Amino acid sequence: MALRELSSLEKFLGLKKPNKYSTQGDKKVPVLQSNNGPALVGLVTIACHLVKEAKRPELLGDSAESRAVVQQWLEHRVTKLDGCTKEDVKTVLKDFNLYLQDKVYLAGNQFTLADIFMYYGIHSLIVELAIQEKEQYMNVTRWFDHIQHYPSIRHHLPPVAVLRNRIYTGRHH
């Protein structure tokens, strides 16, 4: 999954030559071999590297504060979100919903890498939610729908319907 996300990120960034990734350990942590330097290990690390390579530093935040917020959510994604248990899901979504109450994007008013990776990470949770549950976490749903429609983000993930629509329900799009 991590490799697919990195590949989608490359496409979003418009990086012409896709990189070759390998994995290490039983958690399958992605590794990027580099021609001139040591290998880079870790989903977040590699993602940030790709952003710099594509010369889009604003995706990491345009101030010290927003940079810290971006890193925080990236870390949150790979620690609390990945591998969260069924019991945790409600809390995760509730907290996230409260956080997004007054924000368009995770870092406030700016679209960043944090939005991209939280979207990738939370997709499988959102896909499982019924329409009523999606309406319960209104802010998460609003943010999610916004991000999934962002040009060139979705790639490997199927779109999730958030509106009450008779023809297409849930994930059976």
Partner 1 sequence: MKLFVSEGNPHCLKVLAALEVTGAKCDVQYVNHEERVVPFLSRPALPALLLPSGLHLFSSNAICRYLFEVNGQDSSELCNQWLEWEATELQPALLQALHMAVLQGKGSEVSKVLQGPLNYLDQSLSKKNTPYLTGEAVSVADVVLWAALYPILSDSSLALGDRKSVKIWFDHGAAMHSLQCAAQKVLQGKGLQGMKSYMQKQPAPQSSQCRDTQPCNSSPAESEEGERLVSEEEIEAAALTWSKSLNACPLVANRQHPILPQEGKRNLLVTSALPYVNNVPHLGNIIGCVLSADVFSRYGRLRDWNVLFVCGTDEYGTATENKAREEGLTPQQICDKYHAVHSSIYKWFQIDFDYFGRTTTEKQTEIFSGDSTSTGFLVEDTVEQLRCESCQRFLADRFVEGTCPHCSYPEARGDQCDKCGRLINAVELREPQCKVCRQTPVIRSSKHLFLDLPKLETQLEQWLDKSTSTGDWTANAKQITRSWLRDGLKPRCITRDLKWGTPVPHPDFKEKVFYVWFDAPIGYLSITANYTDKWETWWKNPHQVELYNFMAKDNVPFHSVVFPCSLLGAQDNYTLVNHLVATEYLNYEDTKFSKSRGVGVFGDMAKDTGIPSDVWRFYLLVRASRGTGFSLLLGRHGYEKQL
Q: Are 3 and 16 in contact (CB under 8 A)?
A: no
Q: Which of 16, 8, 112, 116 is nearest to 68 (CA)?
A: 112
- Could you say whether residue 124 binds partner 1 (CB under 8 A)? yes
How many residues of this chain bind partner 1 (CB under 8 A)? Answer: 49
Determine contact, residues 121/80, Cβ cutoff 8 Å: no
One-letter amino acid of 88: D
* Order of all β-strands in the sheet with 40-41: 21-24, 29-32, 40-41
Of the residues 54, 108, 142, 159, which one makes contact with partner 1 according to CB under 8 A: 108
Q: Residue count of the chain, please give it.
A: 173
Burial bucket for residue 73 (CB in 10 Å: 0-12, 13-18, 19+) = buried
Among positions 31-90, residues that touch partner 1 (CB under 8 A) are 38, 40-45, 48-49, 52, 64-65, 67-69, 71-72, 75-76, 78-79, 81-87, 89
CB of residue 171 vs partner 1: minimum separation in angstroms? 12
Q: Which is nearer to partner 1, 135 or 158 (CB)?
A: 158
Least Å from the CB of residue 9 to partner 1: 14
Instruction: Tell me the window of 121-129, 130-138, 142-150 that interacts with partner 1 (CB under 8 A).
Output: 121-129
Whichever of 4 and 149 has its CB closer to partner 1, that residue is 4
Among the listed residues 70, 73, 40, the one whose alpha carbon sits nearest the alpha carbon of residue 56:
70
- If one asks whether residue 98 binds partner 1 (CB under 8 A), the answer comes out as yes
CA dihedral sign of residues 13, 81, 103, 146: positive
Please report whether residue 166 would count as binding partner 1 according to CB under 8 A. Answer: yes
List residues near partner 1 by CB under 8 A.
1, 4, 7, 18, 27, 29, 38, 40-45, 48-49, 52, 64-65, 67-69, 71-72, 75-76, 78-79, 81-87, 89, 91, 94-95, 98-99, 101, 108, 121, 124-125, 156, 166-167, 172
